[in-house]
């Protein structure tokens, strides 16, 4: 299959900061790629003499970079639809958790599932994401919480790369919650993650990043610091679930370790925003969890904007707090609930999503030398995609320059 192509007569959202105007917009523009990489983006006529790839007249329609979902928990077994019903009937999350529900339910179901089952389930979910324009996705472990099961989930994430055309990036979130059997001893569990798990994950190259849930109901700052020290020593990128339910100061810790992203951030405060700017940490906003948990405190978007901290948006796809399978719906929620502008929302699922994964040199922009992850839309403005989400799907999807039908992924996942 050819990995070269030439789209002409397009409205191009380059998302390149060097192109003036909102989201680096170019009218009547051309996008050319060869051998999987962007070769030319601009309004000058492209001399296509000798060019062997596909040629597409966009008729003025919109072309964007492939979307990036930089925070998901897509590998799990079992769903929590019954818990949703129970919560709607008025049962508390604590009562549901006490009767074996909540995250314990997902951990138990995921531990029982084979790699083949997990692969099939996750493939269906990622295929749905791809239908919303996602071409790169991060997936975390964290429902295994012991050696065999964390490795099993990370192997599943690795195997997803060969099953669907999307680029899949793995993060080790063994420090998600304390599993049964540790009798409240969070320190011993973190010791085990540092000494018993992470070196093997590194040796087998099963993850790029290490994540922690830093919160009073999960792990504290000292435990996070020990985890990050080990992660840094082994060469992992660093990120975290922080400031979600209270001011945990996990963001300060991520800044101290020059992490790639701090995620959630409802309880983030001004001095922490300044630290993020100084340390180059990207803010990842997760409006699906905010919505589903019926939170009332929004992340401080105005402060993040004022200090020019890049804001990424992700689905946080997971069975408990964010059963959300569309990146454009996440962008819609970020606009409606958190007050992002349309330009910020588009950058949140392109350039800034790439930065949250440390991929800003290769993804998230249409610019010479970047990966040719390209979407052609049936509309001429990003407003239509985000405003009418999730009903507007890309017409064509190229990943590393190769054309895929968004429905091909979906039908394969559903089979
Ligand atoms: Zn999460």
How much distance in Å is there from the Cα of 246 to the middle of ligand 1?
15
What is the distance in A from the centroid of ligand 1 to the CA of 320? Answer: 10
**Cα 212 to middle of ligand 1, angstroms:** 10
Tokens of 130: 């791809």
Ligand 1 centroid to Cα of residue 72, in Å, is 6
CA–centroid distance, 262 to ligand 1, in Å, is 11
217 Cα–ligand 1 center, Å: 14
CA of 213 to the centre of ligand 1 (A): 8
Q: How many angstroms does the Cα of residue 103 sit away from the middle of ligand 1?
A: 12
pLDDT of residue 45: 82
CA of 407 to the centre of ligand 1 (A): 27
Q: Which residues surround ligand 1, an ion (CB under 5 A)?
A: 316
Q: Calculate how far, in angstroms, residue 318's C-alpha sits from the geometric centre of ligand 1.
A: 7
State pTM to two decimals. Answer: 0.96
Ligand 1 centre to CA of 215 (Å) is: 13
pLDDT value for 1: 59
HEC string of the chain equals: CCCCEEEEEEEEECCCCCCCCHHHEEEEEEEEEECCEEEEEECCCCCCCCCCCEEEECCCCEEEECEEECCCCCCCCCCCHHHHHHHHCCCCHHHHHHCCCCHHHHHHHHHHCCHHHHHHHHHHHHHHHHHCCEEEEEEECCCCCCHHHHHHHHHHHHHHHHHCCCEEEEEEEEECCCCCCCCCCHHHHHHHHHHHHHHHHHHCCCCCEEEEEECCCCECHHHHHHHHHHHHHHCCEEEEEECCCCCCCHHHHHHHCCCCEEEECCCCCHHHHHHHHHHCCEEEECHHHHHHCCCCCCCCHHHHHHCCCCEEECCCCECCCECCCCHHHHHHHHHHHHCCCHHHHHHHCCHHHHHHCCCCCCCCCCCCCCECCEEECCCCCHHHHHHCCCCCCCCEEEECCEEECHHHHHHHHHC
Give the Cα separation of 335 and 86 in Å (integer): 30
Q: What is the pLDDT of residue 408?
A: 52
Tell me, in angstroms, the distance from the centre of ligand 1 to residue 353's CA: 15
**C-alpha of residue 134 to centroid of ligand 1, in Å:** 18
| Mean pLDDT per 10-residue segment, the chain (415 residues) | 88 97 94 95 84 90 98 95 91 83 92 97 96 98 98 98 95 96 96 98 98 94 98 98 95 98 97 98 98 94 98 97 96 98 98 98 98 97 95 96 75 40
Q: Which two tokens stand for residue 68?
A: 């990036």
CA of 200 to the centre of ligand 1 (A): 23
CA of 415 to the centre of ligand 1 (A): 28
Q: Ligand 1 centre from 297 Cα, in Å?
A: 17
């Amino acid at each position: 299959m050819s990995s070269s192509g030439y789209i002409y007569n397009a409205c191009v959202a380059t998302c390149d900061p060097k192109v003036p105007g909102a989201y680096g917009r170019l009218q009547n523009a051309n996008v050319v790629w060869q051998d999987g990489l962007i070769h030319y983006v601009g309004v000058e006529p492209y001399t296509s003499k000798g060019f062997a790839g596909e040629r597409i007249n966009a008729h003025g329609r919109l072309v964007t970079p492939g979307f990036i979902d930089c925070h998901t928990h897509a590998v799990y077994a079992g769903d929590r639809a019954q818990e949703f019903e129970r919560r709607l009937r008025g049962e508390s999350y604590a009562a549901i958790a006490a009767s074996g529900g909540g995250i314990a339910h997902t951990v138990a179901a995921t531990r029982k599932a084979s790699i083949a089952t997990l692969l099939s389930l996750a493939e269906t979910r990622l295929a749905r994401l791809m239908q919303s324009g996602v071409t790169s996705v991060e997936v975390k472990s964290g429902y295994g919480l012991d050696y065999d099961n964390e490795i099993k989930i990370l192997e599943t994430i690795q195997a997803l790369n060969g099953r669907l055309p999307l680029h899949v990036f793995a993060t080790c979130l063994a420090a998600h919650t304390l599993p049964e059997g540790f009798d409240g001893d969070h320190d011993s569990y973190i010791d085990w993650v540092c000494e018993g798990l992470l070196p093997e994950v590194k040796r087998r190259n099963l993850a790029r990043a290490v994540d922690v849930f830093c919160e009073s109901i999960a792990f504290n700052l000292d435990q996070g610091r020990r985890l990050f020290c080990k992660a840094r020593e082994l060469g992992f990128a660093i990120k975290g679930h922080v400031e979600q339910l209270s001011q945990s100061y996990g963001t300060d810790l991520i800044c101290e370790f020059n992490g790639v992203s701090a995620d959630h951030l409802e309880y983030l405060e001004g001095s922490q925003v300044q630290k993020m700017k100084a340390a180059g940490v990207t803010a990842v906003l997760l409006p699906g969890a905010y919505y589903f948990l019926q939170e009332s405190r929004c992340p401080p978007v105005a402060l993040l904007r004022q200090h020019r901290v890049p804001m990424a948006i992700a689905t946080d796809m997971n069975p408990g707090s964010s059963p959300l399978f569309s990146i454009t719906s996440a962008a819609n929620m970020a606009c409606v609930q958190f007050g992002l502008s349309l330009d910020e929302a588009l950058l949140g699922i392109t350039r800034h999503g790439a930065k949250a994964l440390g991929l800003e040199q290769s993804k998230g922009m249409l610019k010479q030398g970047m990966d040719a992850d390209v979407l052609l839309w049936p509309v001429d403005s990003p407003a239509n995609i985000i405003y009418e989400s999730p009903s507007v799907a890309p017409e064509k999807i190229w990943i590393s320059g190769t054309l895929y039908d968004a429905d091909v992924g979906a039908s394969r996942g559903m089979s």
